[in-house]
Structures are given as C-alpha cells and as structure tokens.
A and B are shown apart, each in its own frame.
Chain A
Amino acid sequence: MMLQQSSFIPAPPAKLVVDSVSKWYRTARATVHALDNISLNVAEGEFVCLVGPSGCGKTTLLDIIAGLTKPDRGRVLADDQVVEGPGRHRLVMFQESALFPWLTVMGNVLFGLKLKPELTAKERRQIALDHLELVGLEKFADANVHELSGGMKQRAALARSLAPDPRVLLMDEPLASLDAMTREQLYSDIQRIWQTRRKTILLVTHNVREAVCLGDRVILLSPRPGRICADYAVPLSRPRDINSAELAGYAREITAALKSLMSEVVAE
C-alpha cells in the first residue's frame, strides 16, 4: 500500500452538523420550497447516504453543505465552524465527472493539490500518483480525459477529490451514469478506499441498494419540500456485496418506505 508508506499524515475526518436548513427557489412563475427544516448529524468518518426521489432537494442539500449554495434558513457546521462558502475541506464529486478536458488525468488530480501552497512540486506529484494508484489508474496518468471510459472518469474524479485530503467528501450521484457492471466494481472500490482513508462521506443517490451497500446510515428524503422522513442504520459488516440476500432485505424495507412516500405525493 503506497499510501501508508508516503510521508503525509491524512487530515482527520470531520463532524458535520446540518442545523434546521430551509431553502426556497424563486423562479419567474412560482416559489419552490426545496428544503424544509432539515437537521442532520454526521459523525467523524461516517458514511451517510441520502436517498430520495428526484425533486426532493438532495443535490441542493449537498450544495449547501459544500458551501456552493446559501441556505435561506438554518446553518451548516463543519467541525463546529459555520460553513460560509466552498472550501478545500469539503470536496464534491459530481454526477458527471466534471474532470477538466484541458488537462490530462494527472493534471486533473494535481489541480486541487496545486492550491495547497505548503506542498512541494515533488510531493504533489507523489500524492497524485498514490491516488491514481489507489483508484487503479496509474497507467493512465498521461491520458486525456476523453480517452477514459465512464467508469474510469469517475475513478479519476474520485482520485482528484481525495488527493487534496479533504475532511468531508460529498458525492452527488457519482455512479448514476455508469453501467451496472462498472458500478458493482466501484461499490467495492469505494468501500475499500473509504476503509483505508476514513473520510466523512455524504453520498446522494436515488438507488436504494447502492445506499444500503455503501452507507453506515441511509437517510430517506421526501419530495417537495425536501424533508427527512426516515433514518436507517445499516449494521451489515463490510465489505458488503450488493447482491447479498441480507443487503437486499434491508433495501426492500427502505424501498417500501420510499414507495409509500411516492404514493402520498401522487395522492396530494
């Protein structure tokens, strides 16, 4: 394991507190109530999955935690500090990889590292290489982004997000656009990486099995306005297999809750 050999000490994972956050969107025709009084605690090093149907404000919530969007009410605390804007300690991994096409894979991983002035060029390169190795892309360091497959792009994006050593990793449906085979491979990779690096991770998804496979906790959000309506602990041992019967049992329970939620919305 290259990472344990290299000299840098990883930053400790963060405690995250979402304190009664509400958000409205004003469009030309109407005001949409996106999030309603969301409160949420995430412990250090915890892996939490947010699940909900589309339109439940999952991405908005993630943006607010990242500091990319300001809440209309409430606040977010990261390590007891109020989040005022985006910061290097809370990196976001997006649904599309958002890799920069004008840089090579290596250049992309170096991008965030170059914003850390305390590192030397040599250290940056070593950290970037270590992370490419962590996601299995060391052979593609000099490749162009368009030459990567969808799964490889998300791996590169993961390496880019992890390399600057953030305390929190926010993942916005990072696997939604991948095919099933690639996704299954990434489930085990993400678990392996999380177990070695112990980041606080908040992952947004609409895939219940994915959430159960990855999360210590699965939080269910209801749509319009987004509210937290259930919080499940997943006590399964790791590494988890997405196809195991035990996991499917948990997923079934949450899916049933999600379905009843949807029918309520339709009935309204």
Chain B
Amino acid sequence: MRRVVVAASFFIALIAAWYVAVMSGRWSPVLLPSPESIADYLWSALLDGSLLEGCWVTLRRLLVGYIIGVAMGLPLGLLTSTSQSFEDTVGALALGLQTLPSVCWVPLALLWFGQTETAMLFVVVMGTVWSVLIATDTGARTIPPIYARAARTMGSEGFHKWTRVVLPASLPFLVSGMKQGWAFAWRSLMAAEIYVTILTGFGLGHLLHYGRELNAMDQVIGIMLVIVLIGLAADKVLFSPWERFLHQRWGTGLKQR
C-alpha cells in the first residue's frame, strides 16, 4: 500500500510540475502542450480509429517478425552450441551482426524489398534472431554437465534431450535473450516506421512522424506515451509470467528486503 502511495504521488507531482511549466507561459504551447491537450488528442485519435489502427499495424509487424525471429534463433542457437563448424560459421556471424544496431538494417531492407511490409518484417526479424541465437547458445553451453549426464543415464537422447533437458535447463538465459530480442525488434521497428512510409499500413512510428510534420506536439507526445505503454504491457504479458515461473522454480530473485 505504501509503495502504491509513493509511486502515485511521484507521478502526480510530475504531472503537476508539467502543469506549472505550461502555466508559467515561458514556453510556447506549440512546443509544450498541456497534459489535457494530449489527452484530447488521444481521445479523438481513439474515436476516429487512427490510434487503434496504428497500434494494430505496429503490433502485427512486431509479433509476426518476432515469432519468425525466435523460430529461427532457437534451433540455430542449439546448433551452434553443439557443432564446432556451426559455431565457427553461423555463431561468428551472429556475434558480428548482433553488434550491428538493428536500425542499420533499414536502408538495406528498403533497397531489397522496397517500401513494403516485407521490409518491415525483415528489420524486425534481424533485430530478434541474433540475440535469441546467442542467448540460446550461451544457455545451452552453461548447463551444468551433471544435468546432461543424469538425463543420459535415464535414457534421454536426441530430440527428447533437446526439448526436455537442454531447452528447459537454459530457460533463464532464453528468457533474457528473448526479452533482449523483443527490445531490439521493438526499437528497430519504431525507427523503420518513422523513417519510411509504407502505404499498406500506418503504424505508430508513422503517426509519430506525421505529428512532427504537422508540428502537432500533442500528437507526438501522445504517441510516445502509447509506445511506452505498449512496451510496458508487452513486458507484463509476454515476459513476466516466464520470469515468475523461473524465480519460483529456480528459487532465484527472492527479495531480501
């Protein structure tokens, strides 16, 4: 209860300070719109459907790309963790490409695929696949060998070993890798949407970009707020259950306070 009060008063104070700054009249309302004008914009965008449309377009690109990225990264990571040749080839490539900020894929994607959904998907996949691959690889390598030995003596081999021992044993690494992949994909998609207009769908990034073109600061800040909220929600919906499961089963992350 005390924590809720502390958190609530912090954010109320933040909004109050914003009000004070707006009221002081030192800054033009074009550059510093009031909180209620932002609420007004969000409400009207909700009513005319542009906000929901933007959220839907962006989330669809993100989810489809992310699922493809994870589906590629997981098996590749398992391969690089077991095979020396895969480690020296695919593993080295992944390590290199992971250091490349995923926004840097945007120009290439545009030249290859044009201003299409495929270009967007490509950027998201590239943002996801390498970090998932590397996390899987690290996870599978750092499994205590005793688990593999115990599993082998009980007759667990091949596919069974991979799905019932190696993957669950590396779950702590997998979840953090998938979280990182999600963050990379989300950032690169936003950059790509701001950067290019794709006529098949106007995502949140596009709305942000449009806000700038129109000098509509209420739209810019409003959309930023929505992006933050979606990021938070994704964290809660996609990753919190896994993390809770991990902490409960492994007995990690128990609060010492």
Contact = CB atoms under 8 A, between A and B. Distances in A.
Interface string A113-125: 0010000000000
A88 B155 contact: yes
Mostly helix, strand, loop or mixed at chain B's interface? helix
Given A92-B150, A94-B150, A115-B160, A100 B165 contact: yes
B24 to A, nearest CB: 55
Contact of A147 (B146, B168, B169, B251): B251
A66 interface: yes
Nearest to A112: B154
A147 B249 CA distance: 9
Interface residues of A, number: 25
B109 interface: no
A39 interface: no
A87 interface: yes
A86 B249 contact: no
A145 to B, nearest CB: 8
A194 interface: no
A68 B147 contact: no
Given A96-B146, A100-B147, A102-B169, A115 B155 contact: yes
A94 B146 contact: yes
A92 B169 contact: no
A146 interface: yes
B153 A68 contact: yes
Interface in B122-181: 146-147, 149-156, 160, 164-165, 168-169, 171
A162 to B, nearest CB: 12
B256 to A, nearest CB: 15
A112 B155 contact: yes
B168 A100 contact: yes
B248 interface: yes
Contact of A98 (B147, B155, B164): B147
Interface of B: 146-147, 149-156, 160, 164-165, 168-169, 171, 248-251
Given A66-B153, A100-B150, A144-B248, 18 more contacts: A68-B153, A86-B152, A87-B153, A88-B155, A90-B153, A98-B146, A98-B150, A100-B165, A102-B168, A103-B249, A111-B164, A112-B154, A112-B155, A115-B156, A115-B160, A145-B251, A146-B249, A160-B154
19 contacts: A66-B153, A68-B152, A86-B152, A94-B146, A94-B150, A98-B146, A98-B150, A101-B250, A101-B251, A102-B168, A102-B250, A103-B168, A111-B151, A115-B154, A144-B251, A145-B251, A146-B250, A146-B251, A164-B154
